[in-house]
Amino acid sequence: MDIRGLTKFSLIDFPGKISCILYAGGCNFRCPYCHNPHLVIDPESQPQLSDNFIFNFLKQRTGKLEGVVISGGEPSLCSALSGFAEKIKMLGYLIKLDTNGSNPDVVISIHKNKCLDALGLDYKAPSSRYMELTGSKIEDLVERVHRTISYAIQENIPLDVRTTVHKRYHSPEILRLMREELNALGVPVWTLQQFHPAEIIDNTLASAPTYSDAELIDIAKETGNHTRVRGLKGSFIFDS
């Protein structure tokens, strides 16, 4: 498995679990606000962690950590993911997969193999603008993302759907439209994440005006249903 980063301890990335995070190299999207640009554009620039190193670490942490978040980049692009997840499972960990949703068949296969306990999915844009915002050329991209979400709901997989919000791409009208699409898919809870102006793919975004916390909370309230807001420090600043 092409893992290019490790966060050894997290209380927020696997809801309700103490976890570590593994970051897979490479991604098939180019979201302008992505704050892992090196991992996405030039994964080879980041030191690769060997399976040996990772599994030694995980063995040492059994009983201390409950879960492993496999994030990225986009981990579903790596053909070794399934076997990698199996080995993590054999150590007794719960697994959360963070994905952009572009490979539903991979998600389904890992779940059928009993190696998926939770799913995090970034919902990027309304359907009509999905390819534009992600820079993706996958023609059936929206269908794929929706299929990933629908599968998680149908199989009762704990699902964390979130959207990083920047004013340039996400007007209040667009966010309302996205909430309607998620409602239609049966997504109960949606998280709006404050844009983080640190290292990103499109540097012009860092100085472009975006929402204050208060403005984002007002938008979340207006979208109705269960829409919450995560602030820059990672904790929720609004939860309806």
Site for ligand SF4, rule CB under 6 A:
27, 29-31, 34, 36, 40, 72-74, 100, 122
Closest CA to 174 of 211, 146, 207: 211
Residues 234/12, Cβ–Cβ less than 8 Å: yes
If the CB atoms of residues 67 and 73 are measured against ligand SF4, the closer one turns out to be 73
If the CB atoms of residues 23 and 151 are measured against ligand SF4, the closer one turns out to be 23
d(CA 15, CA 39): 24
Closest contact distance (angstroms) between CB of 162 and ligand SF4 is 11
Closest CA to 185 of 131, 239, 147, 158: 147
Closest contact distance (angstroms) between CB of 240 and ligand SF4 is 25
Instruction: Name the 3-class secondary structure at 184.
Output: helix
d(CA 47, CA 3): 9
If the CB atoms of residues 117 and 122 are measured against ligand SF4, the closer one turns out to be 122
Closest contact distance (angstroms) between CB of 128 and ligand SF4 is 18
Closest contact distance (angstroms) between CB of 191 and ligand SF4 is 14
Closest contact distance (angstroms) between CB of 200 and ligand SF4 is 9
Closest contact distance (angstroms) between CB of 3 and ligand SF4 is 14
Phi, psi of 170 (to 5 degrees): -125, 85
Residues 229/217, Cβ–Cβ less than 8 Å: yes
d(CA 40, CA 208): 22
Which residue is nearest to ligand SF4, using beta carbons? 34
Closest contact distance (angstroms) between CB of 168 and ligand SF4 is 15
Residue 216, C-beta contacts closer than 8 angstroms, at least 6 positions apart: 165, 192, 194, 229, 238
If the CB atoms of residues 59 and 198 are measured against ligand SF4, the closer one turns out to be 198
d(CA 194, CA 191): 10
If the CB atoms of residues 27 and 54 are measured against ligand SF4, the closer one turns out to be 27
If the CB atoms of residues 54 and 145 are measured against ligand SF4, the closer one turns out to be 145
If the CB atoms of residues 30 and 167 are measured against ligand SF4, the closer one turns out to be 30
Q: What is the DSSP string of 42-81?
A: -GGGSPPBPHHHHHHHHHHHBTTB-EEEEESS-GGG-TTH
